[in-house]
Structure 1
Amino acid sequence: MKQTLLTCVFITLSALAFCQTGKLTGSVMDAATKTPLELATITVFGQDSAVVSYKLSDKNGLFTIDKLPIKRKLLVSVSYTGYSSFHTAIQQDTAKTDTLNALLELSSKDTVVVTAGIPVKMNGDTLEINPAAFKMKSDAVVEELLNQVAGITIWSDGTITVNGKKVQNLLVDGKPFMGSSDPRVATQNLPKSAIDKIQLYQEYDRSKVGQQTTPQDSLLTMNVKLKEDSKKGYFGKAGAGYGTRDRYEADLSFQLYNKRSSAGIGGGINNINKSIGNLQEMFQNNTYRNYNPNLYNVGRFGTNGINKNHSFGGVVVHNFINSENSRQNDRLTLNYNKTGTDAYITDKTYQSITTSGQSQFSQDEGVQNNQQNKHDIGINYLKTNSYNDNLDVNGTVGTNRENGNSYRSVEVRDSASQLLSKSQTTTINNQQSDNESLRVNFGKMNEERPLTSFGSTLNATRSNTVSEKDVISDFESLTDISKNLYNNRHYTTKNERLNVTGYVDYSGFKRLVLGRYNLFGVNLSLGQWVNYTRETNNTVVTDYDTVIKKRNFNTILSNYNKREVIEYTPSLSLSKEIFKWVDTYYHIFSMQFKLLDDLKNDRNTSSFQQRNLDRSFQFIRYEGSFRYQYFKREKYRYYGMLNYSKTMEYPSIDKLYTLVDNINAYEIRNGNPNLRNTINHAISLNGDYSTDNKKSLYAVNGNINGRYNLAIDPVTDSTFYDPSGKRYYYYTNADKATTLSLNYNFNISRRFNKNNLQLMYKGEFRTGKQPNYIDTLSNISKTNSLLNQFTLQFSLNSILILTAGQTIQTNKTTPTAAGLSSFQNISNTSKFGLVVNYPAGFTLSSTADRISNSNLDKPIVLWNAFATYRFMKQQGELKFSAMDILKKYQNISNSANQYGTSTRITNGLQQYFLLTFSYYPRKFGKMEFKKK
Structure 2
Amino acid sequence: MNKRLLIILFLIPVFAFAQKGNIKGWVEDSLHKYALQSATVTVYQKADSTLLNYQITNAQGEFNIGDLPVNTGMFVSISFSGYISFSKEIRLDSASKLYDFKKIYLQRDTAKNLEEIVVKAVVPVKMNEDTLEINPRAFKLDSSAVVEDMLLRVPGVTMWSDGTITVNGKKVDNVFVDGKPFFGGSPEMATQNLPKTAIDKIQVYQEKDYSKQEITNTDLDSTLTMNIKLQPDKKKGYFGKATAGIGSDHRYEGDLSLQGYNKTSKLGVVGNINNINKSIDNVQSALQNNTFRSYNRRNYGAPDLSSSGVNTVHYFGATFQHNFNASTSTRFDNSINGTYDWRQTNNDLVTDRVNVQNLEDTLGVAYKLTTSSNNTSNSNGIYQSANATYQNRKRARSFSLNTAYNWNDVNSVSQGNSTTYKNDTLLASKGANSSESHSKSNNLNLSGYFNNNDYDEGINKKSFSTNYSLLYNSAESDSKRTSDYESFVDSLYTQKYDRRYHNESSNLTANVGLNYNGLRSLLFGNYNFWNINIGLRNNITVNKSDLQANVQELDTLTNTYKINEQLTNTNSVINIQNRPGISFFKTFTKMLTDRYYQSLVVRTDLQEQMLYQKNTSTLSYRNVERSYNFFTPASSVNYNYNRFNKYNLNLGLAHSSSATAPTIDQLYPIKDSINIYNVVVGNPNLKSAFGNSFTFNANYNSQKFSANNSYNAGLTLTYNTMKNGISDSSIYSGGGGRTAYLINIDHTKSFSGNFNANASFKLKKNMLQVGYRGGYTSANAPQYINSRLSSYKNHSLNNAVTAFYSMLDIFNITLTQSVSNTVTEQSGQEDQQPTKSKTYSTRANFNLTVPKDFIVSSNINLLNNTSANDQSVSAAIWNASVTYRFTKQKQAEIKFSAFDILHQNKNIQNTVTANSNTTTITNGLQQFYMLTLSYYPRKFGGKGRGSGGHNRTGSGQGRGNRS
TM-score, structure 2 normalization:
0.92
Alpha-carbon spacing, 1:266–1:599, altered in 2? closer, same or farther (3 Å): same
- Give the equivalent residue in structure 1 for 2:27: 28
Task: Give CA-to-partner distance per residue, 1:650-670, whole Å, 9 cap, x none.
Answer: 211111111100011111111
Name the CA shift for 1:435/1:16 in 2 (closer, same or farther; >3 Å): closer
Q: Quick check: 1:880 aligned with 2:896?
A: yes
Q: 1:487 to 1:220 in 2, by over 3 A?
A: same
Matching residue within 425, 433, 438 for 2:441: 433
Query: Is contact 1:202-1:220 (8 Å) kept?
Result: yes
Change (3 A) 1:210 1:111: farther
Partner of 1:85: 85
- The answer to whether residue 807 in structure 2 is matched with residue 760 in structure 1 is no
Moved more, 488-497 or 81-90: 81-90
How many angstroms apart in 2 are the aligned matches of 1:756 and 1:467? Answer: 55
- SS state of the match for residue 682, structure 1? strand
Question: What CA deviation, in whole Å up to 9, does each residue of 1:100-126 have, x standing for no partner?
Answer: 343222334867897851101111111
Partner of 1:306: 310
Give the 3-state SS of the residue equivalent to 2:423 in structure 1. Answer: coil
Question: What SS does the aligned partner of 1:207 have?
Answer: coil
Give deviations 1:312-344, integer Å, cap 9, x for gaps. Answer: 100110000110000111010011011121001
TM-superposition CA deviations, 1:666-699 (whole Å, max 9, x none): 1111111111121111112222110012264320
Work out the CA distance in 1 between the residues paired with 2:16 and 2:934.
47
Q: Deviations over 1:119-152 (max 9, x none)?
A: 0111111111111011111111111111111111
Match of 1:170 among 171, 175, 178: 175
What does 1:531-930 correspond to in 2, within 5 Å?
531-583=541-593, 584-694=595-705, 696-819=707-830, 820-855=832-867, 856-857=871-872, 859-873=874-888, 874-928=890-944
Deviations 1:790-816 (A, max 9, x none): 100111233121221100000111111
Structure 1 gaps of 5+ residues are none
- CA deviations over 1:768-805 (Å, ceiling 9, x no partner): 01222111111111111110011001112331212211
Q: CA deviation at 1:741?
A: 1.8
Q: Is the partner of 1:246 in helix, strand or coil?
A: coil
**Alpha-carbon distance in 2 for matches of 1:632, 1:741:** 30
> For residue 128 of structure 1, what is the aligned residue in structure 2?
133
Q: Which has the higher contact order (CA 8 A, sep 6+)?
A: 2
Partner Cα separation in structure 1 for residue 202 and residue 245 of structure 2: 37
Alignment equivalent of 1:444, drawn from 434, 449, 452 = 452
Q: What is the rounded CA distance, in whole Å, between the counterparts of 2:574 and 2:86 in structure 1?
A: 75
| Structure 1 match to 2:277 | 273
**Shift, 1:53, TM fit:** 3.1
The 8 Å contact of residues 211 and 454 in structure 1, kept in 2 or not, is answered as: no
1:86 deviates by: 2.3
User: Residues 625, 24 of structure 1: CA spacing in aligned structure 2 closer, same or farther, 3 A cutoff?
Assistant: closer
Retained in 1: the 8 A contact 2:603–2:637?
A: yes
Separation of aligned partners in 1, 2:924 and 2:402? 38
Q: What's the CA shift for 1:295?
A: 4.0
Partner of 1:315: 319
TM-fit CA distance, 1:607: 0.8
Question: Which residue of structure 2 aligns with residue 399 of structure 1?
Answer: 407
Are 1:294 and 1:845, in contact at CA under 8 Å, matched by a contact in 2? no
Equivalent residues of 1:295, 1:845 under 8 A apart:
no
| Deviations, residues 375-408 of structure 1 (Å, cap 9, x unaligned) | 000001110111x211122110110111111001
Q: What is aligned with 2:397? A: 389
Alpha-carbon distance in 2 for matches of 1:659, 1:845: 55
Q: Would the aligned equivalents of 2:841 and 2:863 in 1 still touch at CA under 8 Å?
A: yes
- The one-letter amino acid paired with 1:327 is R
Tell me which stretches of 4 or more aligned residues in structure 1 moved more than 6 Å.
15-19, 109-115, 929-932
Q: CA RMSD in A?
A: 2.4
**1:294 to 1:635, Cα distance in 2 relative to 1, 3 A:** closer
Q: Is the 8 A contact 1:209 1:389 kept in 2?
A: no
**Compared with structure 1, are the counterparts of its residues 745 and 171 closer, same or farther at alpha carbon in structure 2 (3 Å cutoff)?**
same
In 1, the alpha carbon distance for the partners of 2:458 and 2:778 equals 51
SS at match of 1:898: coil
Asked whether 1:59 is paired with 2:59, we answer: yes
SS in 2 for 1:208: coil
Extract unaligned runs of 5+ from structure 2: 362-366, 951-963
How far does residue 599 in structure 1 lie from its aligned partner after superposition? 1.7
Q: Is the contact made by 1:601 and 1:616 (CA closer than 8 Å) also made in structure 2?
A: yes
| Post-superposition offset of 1:72 | 5.8
The secondary structure found in structure 2 opposite 1:909 is coil
Match of 2:264 in 1: 260
**Counterpart contact for 1:211–1:455, Cα < 8 Å:** no
CA contact (8 A) 1:254 1:266 kept: yes
Counterpart for residue 237 of structure 2 = 233
1:728 partner amino acid = T
Separation of aligned partners in 1, 2:312 and 2:628: 49
Deviation at 1:459, TM superposition (A): 1.5
Q: Residues of 2 paired with 1:785 and 1:365: CA distance?
A: 28
Alpha-carbon distance in structure 1 between the residues aligned to 2:949 and 2:463: 56
In structure 2, what is the Cα distance between the partners aligned to 1:459 and 1:235?
36
1:138 has 2:125 as partner: no
* CA spacing shift, 1:366–1:17, aligned 2, 3 Å: closer
Distance 2:297 2:60 in 1: 45
- Give the structure-1-normalised TM-score: 0.95
Q: Which has the higher mean CA deviation after the structures are superposed, 44-53 or 843-852?
A: 44-53
Deviation, structure 1 residue 354: 2.0
**Aligned partners of 2:72, 2:481: CA distance in 1, in Å?**
83
Distance 1:311 1:706, change over 3 A: farther
Which residue identity is paired with 2:433?
A: T
Kept after mapping to 2: 8 A contact 1:210/1:443: no
Aligned-partner Cα distance in 1 for 2:67–2:864: 45
SS at the partner of 2:649?
strand
Q: Secondary structure at the match of 1:185?
A: helix
Question: How many matched pairs?
Answer: 922
Q: Secondary structure at the match of 2:203?
A: strand
Post-superposition shift, 1:372? 1.7
The CA deviation at 1:817 is 2.2
SS of match in other structure, 1:64: strand
Within 1, Cα distance between the matches of 2:68 and 2:201?
A: 26
Per the TM alignment, residue 611 of structure 1 is displaced from its structure 2 partner at its CA by 1.3
Mapped partners of 2:422, 2:770: distance in 1: 49
Deviation for aligned residue 1:763: 1.2
Give 1:393's aligned amino acid. L
Note the alpha carbon deviations across 1:624-669, whole angstroms, 9 max, x for none: 1000000001111011111111222221111111110001111111
- Which moved further from structure 2: 886-895 or 474-483? 474-483
Match of residue 37 from structure 2: 38
Are the counterparts in 2 of residues 276 and 310 from structure 1 also a CA contact under 8 Å? no
1:353-368 alignment to 2 at 5 Å? 353-357=357-361, 358-368=367-377
Equivalent-residue separation in structure 1 for 2:942 and 2:25 (angstroms) = 44
Q: Share of identical aligned residues, percent?
A: 35
Report SS of the residue matched to 2:189: helix
Please give the per-residue CA displacement for 1:132-173, whole angstroms capped at 9, x wherever unaligned: 011111111111111111111111111111222211111111
